[in-house]
Amino acid sequence: MTAREPRTAGLIEGLLRELAPQVLGAVIRRSGDFAASEDAVQQALIAAAERWPGDGVPDDPRAWLIRVASRRSIDQVRAETARRRREELVVSLVPAEDQLAMAAGEDEGTGGDDALVLLLMCCHPALSPASAIALTLRAVGGLTTAEIARAFLVPEATMAQRISRAKQSIKGSGVPFELPAAEQWGERLAAVLHVLYLMFNEGYTSSGPELTRVDLSGEALRLVRMLRRLVPDDGEVMGLLALMLLTDARRAARTGPAGELVPLDEQDRGRWDRAAIAEGVALVTAALSRGSVGAYQLQAAIAAVHDEAPSADATDWPQILALYGLLLQMSDNPMVALNHAIATAMVRGPAAGLERLDALAHDARLAEHHRLDAVRGHLLERAGDRAAAQQHYRRAADRTTSAPERNYLLMKAARLDEPG
Amino acid sequence: MKYMLMMNTPGGGPYQIARWPQQDIQAHIAFMKDFARALGESGELVAAEGLAGPDQAKRVRAGGDGKPITDGVFPEAKEFLAGYWIVDVDRPERAYEIAARASAAPGPGGKPLNLAIEVREVMSAPPRDLLE
């Protein structure tokens, strides 16, 4: 890699975050110890962030980081290097840490593979989603523990413990630092997609002062873009990237001036990000034309239909209904069933949608869920039954655990008191 | 998901712990310290505070001029909030497990107090777009 001497801290931060997984991969390959290497790389990244803005970016920043990280974990590394030296009959008087730095040049081109192996490791199904998200943000995303803690609004010490335990779980499960065998590939890649999907949603569902927090949705987008470069031919990777782009495109329009929630049909479509929509539509179109349709591609296709509609009234609901129908065959997710009921109402009228809801009320996962009441409220309002709609909006407001959603539902209920 | 676990203690004067034998008080405090440390180590602790006794408590309302009007304590109140924990867990059942452990904190003679712990979910923020 040639250094382009970026001067500003922002460019340096971008470079460091891009290099983080490659450097970590290289250090793990040498030391064999994921947890110790991860700590060492984190320290090297912090050292670089402190020194490069003043000293300038080294000619080979990747080698610099590998050298510094290796020095930090030299005790663990030295034993391993000694073993390698014996095995490979490399007789040398060069200190172990310099050997490591020189070796950094050996595997140009495996940086990408290392990042992929790391991502698969951090999103291993043995970890809880919360742990996997935190570990991925640190080991692959190159964020500090303090930044991740702020993103989740927990104390730094708590996040440090969570990450440390996640690393121990990986160590304990004995996952080797290599790409999974072909028969496990599908399951492991699905786990990565799931973690990145949850990370993206977390960016939408966590509350708190926005300015001081890492943008988790943007972070998830960056990581899924990286994944797409590493695995360019997977339809679901393309589908997830498209889904994130098409959802994120509406970000500016989905909250009002006071931070209140603006539902899709009331959003100012002029504020949607047209470039993100164009990229997302092109991606999902390309993915769907490949033949093997997956759940992320279908969700992306639904988001694309919404994003391409010039107005809420001009939305192609029959197409959305058909897509939810396909999605319903593929997954037993009650939220998909709810959305299918909404689409049914939009195509065949509120009575048909309410009929679907009656059937869903027997699903134990939905029976007490506030969203069932919220959707029933909407459909009853469309059907003209204002009193019943109000009652269901209020029931939903009582049970949601999202403050903006509660406020939105209470406003919907209150508006029904006004002469319509 | 975050939950607040609130430990209520019977009203009617100061914390009853004040009247326990020294060794029981020590055992109770040691339990609470261990409990908080374990929550920190499991990566689930967001915050924990113990509150000063109810005899220090005031009830405050704004008067007509917006200035505070304070009232004294309410010895007739059936129970008082003694302290709380906020935990960040993967599922509600885990919050209940933690609450049950707090409830079993040792009381006089080392016997579990089995105080009721109120578990409330902390509100989060916007879900995905509605009506998509």
* Contact B49/A at CB under 8 A: no
Query: Which of A8-12, A88-92, B52-56 is the least confident region?
Result: A88-92
Distances (CA, A) of A160 to A144, A274, B42: 10, 39, 10
Q: How confident is the model at residue A107 (pLDDT cuts 50, 70, 90)?
A: very low
Residue A155's SS3 state is: coil
Report the candidate in B33, B31, B11, B15 with the shortest Cα–Cα distance to residue B23: B31
Work out the average pLDDT over B26-35: 93
Instruction: Region of A85 please: left (phi>0), alpha (psi -120 to 50) or beta.
Output: alpha
Rg over CA atoms, chain A: 25
Strand B45-50 to B2-10 pairing = unpaired
Q: Which residue of B has its CA nearest to A379?
A: B131
What is the model's pLDDT at position B53?
A: 79
The stretch B47-67 carries a mean pLDDT of: 87
DSSP assignments along A331-351, one per residue = ---HHHHHHHHHHHHHHH-HH
**pLDDT value for A307:** 97
- Choose from A161, A213, A412 for mutation: most chain B CBs within 10 A: A161
SS3 string, A368-410, reads CCHHHHHHHHHHHHHCCCHHHHHHHHHHHHHHCCEHHHHHHHH
- The structure tokens 């009959």 sit at A89
Question: Mean pLDDT, chain A, as a whole number?
Answer: 86
What residues of chain B lie within 8 A of the CB of A264, using their CB? 129-132
Q: Please write the tens of the pLDDT for every residue from B70-93.
A: 887 666 677 888 899 999 998 999
A80: which residues sit within 8 A by CB, 6+ positions away? A30, A31, A32
User: Which residues touch A362 (CB under 8 Å, ≥6 apart)?
Assistant: none
Read off the amino acid at residue A394. Answer: R
Listed as own residue / partner, the contacts of A411-417 with beta carbons closer than 8 Å and 24 or more positions apart are A411/A260, A412/A377, A412/A381, A413/A377, A416/A381, A416/A386, A416/A387, A416/A389, A416/A390, A417/A390
Interchain proximity A263–B124, CB inside 8 Å: no
Mean pLDDT of A114-140: 92
Tens digits of per-residue pLDDT, A170-206?
Answer: 888 888 888 888 899 999 999 999 999 999 988 776 5
**pLDDT tens string A216-256:** 889 999 999 999 999 999 999 999 999 999 999 998 898 88
ipTM comes to: 0.78
Give the pLDDT score at A211: 45
Residues 6+ apart with CB under 8 A from A142: A16, A17, A18, A19, A20, A21, A45
pLDDT reading at A104 higher than 80: no
Q: How far apart are CA A85 and CA A79, in angstroms?
A: 10
Instruction: Give the dihedral sign, CA A153/A156/A157/A161.
Output: positive
Structure tokens at A385: 């039954």
Q: Which residue in chain A is spatially nearest to B88 when comparing CA positions?
A: A154
B132 to A303: CB separation less than 8 angstroms, yes or no: yes
**How much is the pLDDT for B54?**
78
The SS3 call for residue B47 is strand
Band (A74; pLDDT cuts 50, 70, 90): low
Provide the pLDDT for residue A255: 84
**pLDDT over 60 at A1, yes or no:** no
| pLDDT tens digits for range A322-335 | 999 999 999 888 88
pLDDT in tens, A391-416: 999 999 998 888 888 889 999 999 99
Cα torsion through A140, A141, A145, A146, rounded to 10: 180
Highest mean pLDDT, choosing among A48-52, A69-73, A342-346: A342-346
Mean of pLDDT values over A346-364: 94
Tell me what the mean pLDDT of segment B103-121 comes to. Answer: 92
pLDDT at B130 over 60: no
Residues paired with B120 in a beta bridge:
B4
Taking 70 as the threshold, does the pLDDT of residue B64 lie above it?
yes
- Cα-Cα-Cα-Cα torsion B20, B21, B26, B28, nearest 10 degrees, comes to -40
Chain A partners within 8 Å of B43 (Cβ): 131, 158-159, 161-165
User: Any residues with CB less than 8 A from the CB of A208 and at least 6 apart, and which?
Assistant: A153, B125
When pLDDT is cut at 50, 70 and 90, the band that residue A353 belongs to is very high
Q: What are phi and psi of A418, to 5 degrees?
A: -80, 150
pLDDT computed for residue A369 by the predictor? 87
Name the nearest CA neighbour of A264 among B56, B42, B89, B131: B131
- Taking any CB pair shorter than 8 Å as contact, residues of chain A touching chain B are 128-131, 152-155, 157-159, 161-165, 201, 204-208, 247, 250, 254-255, 261, 263-265, 302-303, 306, 339, 342, 374, 378, 401-406, 408
Taking CB atoms and an 8 Å limit, are B132 and A405 in contact across chains? Answer: no
Closest CA to A214 of A31, A38, A13: A13
Whole-prediction pTM? 0.83
